[in-house]
């Protein structure tokens, strides 16, 4: 039977009915395929979400760790056996940092010297020093900073470990803490170039570029700027060990007019002059002074 004959015999009504029957027969199968596909998509989404949540809990992304930091206990008793062991291990980590080791092996290594702040600072003065006393200990400033300074005092590189007890937002070091450390570090570079080696902060400007996470070593770099009589300008920066910029700073230090009334020799010793040998010398907070 030809298709033309079939169309004449069947007519339009038959054709429409036949098409409707085909669509009606295929509808349940289409619905089953749709529901099956929807179930697969839903399962995939649930599985991906569970995996992402698990990985995020173990390895939180930076923004997640900042917004929802993990809780941590407060700073421990610095005299406890656990604290002593922790501090010793942290010191070993400091001495074996790849960056520090590479600096010690550079071609110009003999143009630099190392000092450790507060190493020989009198205990009766240390107790009333913020960075050398009140904030000293595990969970805070567990180690004495390690300063590598150029012998012409034009630059310095300072390694500091920042504990969890120095935070503003939990897990993020307080901006004021970074300002204090930068002020002291910049002051050392500036004061070494003042006529009587005595100076005070006249201006300190900071730009915070990224959050500084706690429980890590950071590197502070300082650079001598302009020296004009009793005024010195310096710049500096804080970086993590990967070289990421965290804070930028600039400052002006001036020598007070009463500088000649101070025991400048004691002040120079407190700040840490270039050692006569390779043994580190100490760096203090510049407060040792007495009338002549």
Question: What is the per-residue pLDDT across 245-273, written as a single tens digit (0 to 9) for each?
Answer: 999 999 999 999 888 777 665 555 556 56
Give the chain's mean pLDDT. 79
- Which class for 209: exposed (0-12), middle (13-18), buried (19 or more C-beta within 10 A)? middle
DSSP one-letter code for 117: E
Asked if residue 54 has pLDDT above 70, the reply is no
The C-alpha torsion from 207 through 209 and 214 to 216, rounded to 10°, is -110
Around Cβ 161, how many Cβ atoms within 10 Å? 22
Nearest to 214 by CA among 161, 173, 169: 173
Mean pLDDT of 144-151: 94
Neighbouring CB atoms inside 10 A of 157's CB total: 20
Mean pLDDT of 188-202: 91
Residue 33 has pLDDT above 90, yes or no: no
Q: Does the predicted model carry a pTM greater than 0.85? A: no
pLDDT at 31 over 70: no
User: Looking at the predicted structure, is the pLDDT value of residue 111 above 90?
Assistant: yes
Residue 244 pLDDT exceeds 80: yes
pLDDT of residue 44: 61
Assign residue 267 a region: left if phi > 0, alpha if psi is -120 to 50, beta otherwise?
Answer: alpha
Give the full edge-to-edge strand order of the sheet including 245-254.
200-208, 245-254, 231-240, 216-228, 155-162, 146-150, 112-117, 281-283
Question: How far apart are the C-alpha atoms of 200 and 3, rounded to whole Å?
Answer: 105
Confidence of residue 127 (pLDDT cuts 50, 70, 90): confident
When mean pLDDT is compared across 70-74, 87-91, 174-178, 214-218, the lowest value belongs to 70-74
Residues 6+ positions from 283 with CB-CB distance below 8 Å: 115, 116, 117, 118, 119, 145, 147, 188, 270, 271, 272
Lowest average pLDDT, out of 183-187, 195-199, 245-249, 288-292, goes to 288-292
Q: Euclidean distance between the first and final Cα of the chain, in Å? A: 129
Whether 117 has a pLDDT exceeding 70, the answer reads: yes
pLDDT band at 58 (very low <50, low <70, confident <90, very high): very low
Quote the pLDDT of residue 265: 58
**Given the DSSP bridges, would you call strands 112-117 and 155-162 parallel, antiparallel or unpaired?**
unpaired
**CA dist., res. 127 & res. 121, Å (int):** 10
Higher pLDDT, 99 or 276: 99
Q: Quick one: DSSP state of residue 154?
A: S
- Predicted confidence band of residue 287 (pLDDT cuts 50, 70, 90): very low
Per-residue model confidence (pLDDT) at position 27? 54
**67: pLDDT confidence band, cut at 50, 70 and 90?**
low
Q: Is the dihedral of CA 265, 142, 217, 211 positive or negative?
A: negative
Who wins on pLDDT, 92 or 72?
A: 92
């Amino acid at each position: 039977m030809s298709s033309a004959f079939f169309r004449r015999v069947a007519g339009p009504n038959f054709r429409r009915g036949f098409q409707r029957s085909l669509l009606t027969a295929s509808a349940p199968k289409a619905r089953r395929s749709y529901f099956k596909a929807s179930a697969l998509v839903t399962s995939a989404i649930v599985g991906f979400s569970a995996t992402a949540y698990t990985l995020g809990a173990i390895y939180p992304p930076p923004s997640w760790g900042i917004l929802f930091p993990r809780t941590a206990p407060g700073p421990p008793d610095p005299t406890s056996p656990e604290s002593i062991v922790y501090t010793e291990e942290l010191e070993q980590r400091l001495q074996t940092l790849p960056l520090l080791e590479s600096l010690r092996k550079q071609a110009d290594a003999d143009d630099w010297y190392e000092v450790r702040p507060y190493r020989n600072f009198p205990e009766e003065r240390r107790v009333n020093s913020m960075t050398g006393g009140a904030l000293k200990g595990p969970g805070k400033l567990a180690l004495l900073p390690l300063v590598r300074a150029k012998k012409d005092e034009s630059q310095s590189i300072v390694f500091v470990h920042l504990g969890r007890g120095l935070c503003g937002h939990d897990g993020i070091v307080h901006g004021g803490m970074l300002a204090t450390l930068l002020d002291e570090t910049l002051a050392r570079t500036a004061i070494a170039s003042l006529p009587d080696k005595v100076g005070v902060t006249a201006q300190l400007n900071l730009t915070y570029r990224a959050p500084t996470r706690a429980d890590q070593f950071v590197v502070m770099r300082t650079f001598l700027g302009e020296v004009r009589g009793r005024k010195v300008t310096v710049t500096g920066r804080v970086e993590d060990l990967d070289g990421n910029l965290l804070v930028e700073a600039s400052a002006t230090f001036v020598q007070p007019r009463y500088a000649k009334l101070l025991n400048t020799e004691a002040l120079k010793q407190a700040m840490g002059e270039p050692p006569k040998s390779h043994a580190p010398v100490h760096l203090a907070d510049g407060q040792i002074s007495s009338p002549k």
